Chains A and B, each alone.
Chain A
Amino acid sequence: MKYMVMECHPSYAILLDKEGRFLIAANLRYEVGQEVTNPVLMKKPSSSGFRLKRVLISSAAAIAACLLLLFGMNYYESYMAPYSSIFLTINPEVRMDLNRNGSVVGLAGTNDDGETLIEGYEWKGKDKVTIADELVDRAIEMGFLSEGGRVSFSIDTPDEAIFQEYGVELRSKVTEHLDGRITVEIEIFDYSNSSESSKEEQPEKVSSSPSSLPEKSSAVTSDKTSSQIVSSYSGGKGESDFKPTAGSISDHTPSSSKPSGSNTDYSDSDYGENSSMASSQPPASSKPVSDNTNYNDGNTNYNQENQNENETDDTDYSSEEQEDQESDYEEKESDEDE
């Protein structure tokens, strides 16, 4: 492109290009009126105001993105991420995933029959109780569930309050739903407990709270007892019966976290025979204790805790046990000393 030199200054020249632009360029010994090619044009650096604006805009965008991510995470946490699960077991087993708010975010069959049961079932936007009711209906339709059958809800949740809430709700609503049609047993389990009772104890849990082990075994027994009691109630008597049932739920749940609390609950609960049953099963509770000698090494509190428990339960039994354990303990210590 050809440029016409319009004006010459000592430090710069003004050129006019063919498109009508007036430009400032280096004055490479130009003369006014000359036509030149390949001038060195002045580049105008972007003004600082524009830069500042750009920086502001980009930082605002970055902050917005961060906030979006944060709230997105929050939203995901409270609405999308499964927080607790309910395992509905008849023979088909189905898992319901619930978020923090108690809405159902996922439904999956955990065995073949379970998959058959939920095949073609539209669960989205429905309440967990509605889903449970409808699944039980489907199970009846498909012939999985008949008169005198058993429906168990195994609730897996990190929060005890939620466990109780869901347990009570499911039991009452499903019983109400089935009332007058067929009679089935309805059981509520804490998933973590039931899995522990069926599977081997996880080593981490054992190491963290060795003292709770004997309680776990008793919790298992209480599970059994509660389900037995439940079976007597669940024949569709009346709604007033559900109160003590809820109590039975609270009975065995704290066992994993609050060992001493469970004992007091036992004595407080209405079931006189229940506590007697628990106390009348020393062989069951003694079995894990005898296994337990391994855990003595690191924990001196063990004896004390045991003492507490034994005081409430059975003094004779406890003294025996305690002596055994103490002697074990001493032996261990002497071993270690050597």
Chain B
Amino acid sequence: MNEEQLIIQQVYKAKENMQKADELINDYMPFIKAETAKFLRRPPIEGHDDELSIAMIAFHEAICGYARNRGAFLKYASMLIRSRLIDYARKEMRHSGAISLENGSEKEGTSLSDTLADQKNHSEETDTREATKAEIQELRKQMEGFGVSLTDVAENCPKQKRTLDACRKALQYAKETPDILEELLRTKRLPISKLVQGGADRKTLERHRKYMVALLLVFTNGYELIRGHLKQVMKGVATK
């Protein structure tokens, strides 16, 4: 009984803080593994089975969605993990007809991937990946100066299309008036009152403050690769 209370308290703390949720998942890893093993009918291997990762994200969902009136937490989490694993299995069923490249062909010892011609330039790809990684690292550092982490941004990200459009509109306005970006960098604060002049709703922007900071930072200096990835963001606004 007491233990049950403890879990619930931890869960409620983890709801607000992704870091705590991560810790909680670490503590309950044996439970998650057991649930995955029940589904797979074999013990999952860490770092190999996608199912384990999915079980972990399902545990995250359980933390977010749990409420006291939903009964015992672990039962709820177990149910959610099982249903997410079933969802995943159904999604994968579509590819069940395909042959894995890793499988051996008639000739023993060589896999199908070895027989295919190499389409991509591997070294170039690893280079760009390294470059992107460095850029992201830089962005993270800069965001830390604002007291914003990427996890915060992900949690703060607008879900509705309309809200997303409003944020983009504000971004577009900020790009046209360099003062805003300058002010952002100088004061380390989001100049909402100036952004509002772009026509976006003030409340919407305030609610997605962290997200706006990340988005504006991406469009300040550098971050060519991330911006390249986000090409569609600006395309959507330009066509309007």
Binding site for B on A (CB under 8 A): 2, 4, 6-7, 9-12, 14, 16, 18-29, 31-35, 40, 42-48
Check if B60 sits within 8 Å of A24, measured CB to CB. yes
Q: Compute how far the CA of A21 lies from the CA of B236 in the bound complex, rounded to whole angstroms.
A: 13
Q: In chain B, residues 86-134, which have Cβ atoms closer than 8 Å to a Cβ of chain A?
A: 88, 128-133
Partner of A26, one of B50, B136, B233: B50
Q: Compute how far the CA of A40 lies from the CA of B58 in the bound complex, rounded to whole angstroms.
A: 10
Chain A interface mostly: loop
- Report chain A residues within 8 Å CB of B154: 14, 22-24
Check if B157 sits within 8 Å of A7, measured CB to CB. no
Chain B interface mostly: helix
Check if B157 sits within 8 Å of A21, measured CB to CB. yes
- Report chain A residues within 8 Å CB of B129: 31, 33-34
With A7-B151, A21-B164 already in contact, the answer to whether A48 and B67 are too (CB < 8 A) is yes
Task: Judge whether B82 is part of the interface by a CB distance below 8 angstroms.
Answer: no
Check if A25 sits within 8 Å of B61, measured CB to CB. no
Chain B residue at minimal CB-CB distance from A1: B232
Task: Judge whether B74 is part of the interface by a CB distance below 8 angstroms.
Answer: no
Chain B residue at minimal CB-CB distance from A30: B53
A31 CB, nearest partner CB in chain B, Å: 7
B94 CB, nearest partner CB in chain A, Å: 11
Task: Judge whether B73 is part of the interface by a CB distance below 8 angstroms.
Answer: no
Binding site for A on B (CB under 8 A): 21-22, 25-26, 47, 50, 53-54, 56-57, 59-61, 64-65, 67, 69-70, 84, 88, 128-133, 135-137, 140, 150-151, 153-155, 157-159, 164, 167-168, 211, 214-215, 226, 229-233, 236
Check if B157 sits within 8 Å of A22, measured CB to CB. yes
- Report chain A residues within 8 Å CB of B84: 40
- Report chain B residues within 8 Å CB of A18: 229-233
- Report chain A residues within 8 Å CB of B137: 32
Q: Compute how far the CA of A10 lies from the CA of B167 in the bound complex, rounded to whole angstroms.
A: 30
Chain A residue at minimal CB-CB distance from B50: A28
- Report chain A residues within 8 Å CB of B226: 4, 16
Excluding A11-B22, A18-B229, A45-B65, 16 further A-B contacts by CB distance (< 8 Å) are: A4-B226, A4-B229, A10-B56, A11-B53, A11-B57, A12-B60, A18-B230, A20-B164, A20-B232, A21-B157, A22-B154, A26-B54, A26-B56, A26-B57, A33-B133, A33-B135
Chain B residue at minimal CB-CB distance from A41: B57
A137 CB, nearest partner CB in chain B, Å: 69
Q: Can you list 6 A-B pairs, Cβ within 8 angstroms, ordered by A?
A: A7-B150, A18-B229, A22-B150, A27-B53, A33-B130, A45-B65
Q: Compute how far the CA of A300 lies from the CA of B136 in the bound complex, rounded to whole angstroms.
A: 105
- Report chain B residues within 8 Å CB of A4: 132, 226, 229
A190 CB, nearest partner CB in chain B, Å: 64
